[in-house]
Each structure stands twice: as structure tokens, then as C-alpha cells.
Amino acid sequence: MANQEASSIPPTAKMLILSFVPVFLGLGFLQIVLGAWLVTVGFTAEQAGLLIAAQGIAVVLTSIPLGIISDVYGRKQLLVLGNLAGAAALLVFALTTNFLYLISASVALGFAEGAAVTTWNALLADLTDNSNRNRVFSLSFIMINVTTGIGLVLPGAFPALQSLTGLTNYTLHRQTLLILGLASFISPLMFYILLRNHRETHNPERRWSGLTNKGTLAKLGFVASTIGFGAGFIIPLVGAWFYYRFNVSDSYSGPILAFSNILIGFSAYASPRLATRFGQMRAIILVTGSSMLFMLSMAFIPIFALAAGVYIVRSALMNMAGPLMDSFSMSIFPAEQRGLVSALSNITFRLPNSLSTYFGGVILGLGLLQLPFFIASAFYITGLTAFYIFFVTTKRYAAQIASLS
């Protein structure tokens, strides 16, 4: 594994990744709309929270059935359908402020995310082999982080545009949503064009046989849920932590975090090289463990600029681990199970992460600003130790990766 020579990225995989750019630009901007803008134009914080929660609940409820559909009937139709739903939902946010319509759009976005979760990694794995899979997943990871980051920083240009055009902040937000919503329809169109002649051979009998290696999935789920639960105590709340610790508002921390999202996205370029040098599983432990150390050190840093820099390094290291973990999880399961595995992997990380974010907020509210880092690090150590015991110390997973395409 460590000495395996990497081959080039298949052209179809590269074009598919680039075709996702319009959607993630829109989703990045929508994060700002939901998290910061809606409350300035008459919506309550509870309504904004409900819109975000509706999307999350829809993802959880749809991921498993969509994963089974992906494994039985194929990825490409579901990917196109999901992206059509996502583009339509983005357009709804541009065309109305009716809360009931926006709730419906949020549910549609959840369905779209569920469709993407259950098809995207599985499809990329189907289009690659072990010689280029790490590179393809790294490119996908870079695309998602960079384009989402660009969407996040778009409102930073609005004050200058207001001065130049005389348009109001409200109008600029609405027009940007409209442009990005319309542009998002490019993605499903490109997916259809690129995949119309693609034959899916992973399940020719169109029959779901269930999961044949539940033990492996349980091990992956334990690792994902442990690390996800730990990360939730502080990572989604780091902006609030900057405020409580350094009295720095989101006017300063927000742009830093958004731009860091763009910059650290490129760190995933290093992932295939690390996998080649150290082996895929050991590289995952190396970068995730290093990320944890940087995260823990933030608890003791007295200066905002230094803490922000350490956070960026921490995030860059985790971005190196992300594509390697996706590639690993897809490589140890056969093609006819990858859709459901993708869904379950997402749920086992996302649900514990969401739960612990609540507890992290309570802890920060009590003024215990170091405690979330200590708790998060303890769960990281538990998850990494489990990954080492479950996967690295046994040779059969390395052999599985070598035998599965």
C-alpha cells in the first residue's frame, strides 16, 4: 500500500467533480443566509434554527433508504434527481420569504444532501481503483471546501457593491441567491451528460443482499461517532469560543474562518502523498492525531491571532484526513454496498456531532472555555486508538483494499 504508484485521475471523475462547483457555491452562500442574514430581515432565530434542523432531519431520514436505492438501482439517476431537487430548493430561497415554503425547501435540501451522500463517494469509488482513488477523493474534498468557502465570503463584497450600484443589502442577497440558484441547475445537467453512457455493473441483478460485513461497519461507525461526538464540543462553536475567549465578534472571526475554509481545502493535495509514503491507514492516524494536538493547544493560547492560526493548521490537517478516510471506507466494502455504507458513515458522524454541539454550547455558556477542548481530545484519542486496534494492527483490511476495485 505505502509503495503503490498512483495513476492519473480518470477524465470522467475529474469532470464530475468540477460539475459540482455551482451547487457548492450556492450551498456556501446559503449557510450565511440561514445562519446570519435571515434574522436581519424579520425572521426569528428560532425560525432560522428550524430551517437548519429541517434539513438535518431530512438527511438522516432519507440517507439509509436512498443508500439502498443507490446500491440496488444505481447511482447516476439518484445523483441527478437529488441535484435537481437541491437546485430547485436554492431557487425557492431566492423567490420567496414565506416560511412554509422555506421549510419545504429545507426538506428538499436534506433530500438532496441524502442523495449526494449515498451516491457521490460510491460513484467516485466505482470510477476509480486503488492506484488513483486517494487522488480523486482529495480533488473532490478540495472542490467542496474551496467552493463552499467562496460562497461563504461572497457577502464580504456587498458593502462595496452597495456603494457602486446603489442596491440595498437585501436586494444583493436576493439577487445573489437567484443567480446561484439558477446556476445550480448546471450541475444536474452536467451529471446527466457525463453519465448518460456510464454502465453501472456493481449490482446487475438489481437485488439488495444486505450488509455482509456488519462487524467492519460497526467498527467504522464507532470510530466516526467517537470522533464526531468529540469534535462537536468545540469545532462548530469555534466562532463563539473566539468571542468568549478574546471578545472578537464574527465580523472578524467570520471572514477568517471563511477564508481558511478556502485555503485549507488545498491541503488535501497532500493526502495522496502521505498515503503513498506511510500507507493509507497510518496516514489517517498521523494527520488526525496531529490535528488533535493543535486543537488541544488552542485551550492554552492567550492571543487571538495565534489561536486563529493554530485553528487553521488544525483544520488543514483534518482536511488531509477526510479524503483518506472516505477512500478507505469505500475500499474495504464491495461496490454493491457502498451507497448504504456512505449513508451510515455520514449518520454515525453527524448525529453524535450535532448532539455534542449542544453540550458544548452549554459548557461555553458556563464560562468553562478550556473544558470543551479537553473533552474533545479525550474522544479523539479514544477514536484513534480504536481505529488503530480495529484496522491497522490486522493485515486483512490492507489485503481487502488490494483486492477490491
Residue whose C-alpha cell is 452536467: 190
Q: Measured on CA atoms in the order 76, 11, 399, 350, is the torsion positive or negative?
A: negative
Q: How confident is the model at residue 402 (pLDDT cuts 50, 70, 90)?
A: low
pLDDT of residue 5: 46
At the topology level, CATH places domain 1-199 in Growth Hormone; Chain: A; (1.20.1250)
**Assigned C-alpha cell, 376:** 474533545
Q: Grade residue 18 by pLDDT with cuts at 50, 70 and 90.
A: very high
Lowest mean pLDDT among 12-21, 341-350, 369-378: 341-350
Residue 202 has pLDDT above 70, yes or no: no
Q: Would you tell me how many other CB atoms lie within 10 Å of the CB of residue 174?
A: 18
Give the residue, 262 or 145, on which the prediction is more confident.
Answer: 145
Look at 253 and 26; give whichever has higher pLDDT. 26
Max CA pair span of the chain? 65
Parse the chain into domains and list their residue ranges.
1-199, 213-405
- Name the average pLDDT for the chain: 87
Taking alpha carbons only, the member of 29, 160, 179 closest to residue 91 is 179
Q: What is the pLDDT of residue 203?
A: 53
Residue 355 above 60 pLDDT?
yes
Assign 280 a pLDDT band (cuts: 50, 70, 90): confident
At residue 334, the pLDDT reads 80
Which pLDDT value is given to residue 201? 64
- Summarised one tens digit per residue, pLDDT across range 175-193 is 999 999 999 999 999 999 9
Give the three-class secondary structure for 10.
coil
Read off the pLDDT band of 6 (50, 70, 90): low
State mean pLDDT over 323-341.
Answer: 84
Q: What are phi and psi of 29, to 5 degrees?
A: -65, -35
Q: Which of 306-310, 312-316, 330-334 is predicted with the least confidence, judged by mean pLDDT?
A: 330-334
Predicted confidence (pLDDT) at residue 207 exceeds the cutoff of 70? no
Which of 23, 63, 59 has its CA nearest to residue 342? 63
The answer to whether residues 37 and 48 touch, using CB atoms and an 8 Å cutoff, is no
The string over 213-228, giving b where at least 16 C-beta atoms fall within 10 Å of a residue's C-beta and e elsewhere, is eeebbebbbbbbbbbb
**pLDDT tens readout for residues 214-245:** 888 899 999 999 999 999 999 888 888 988 99
pLDDT in tens, 52-103: 888 888 888 898 899 888 888 888 899 999 999 999 999 999 999 999 999 9
Among the residues of 127-185, which ranges form H helices? 133-153, 158-165, 169-183
pTM of the model: 0.78
Of 157, 151, 139, residue with least CA distance to 265 = 139
The rounded radius of gyration (Å) of the Cα atoms in the chain is: 21
Would residue 247 be called left, alpha or beta, if left means φ above 0 and alpha means ψ between -120 and 50 degrees? left
**Residue 124 phi, psi (nearest 5):** -60, -40
CATH class of 213-405: mainly alpha
Confirm if 324 and 284 have CB atoms less than 8 A apart: yes
Size (the chain), residues: 405
Check if 1-199 and 213-405 are the same fold: yes
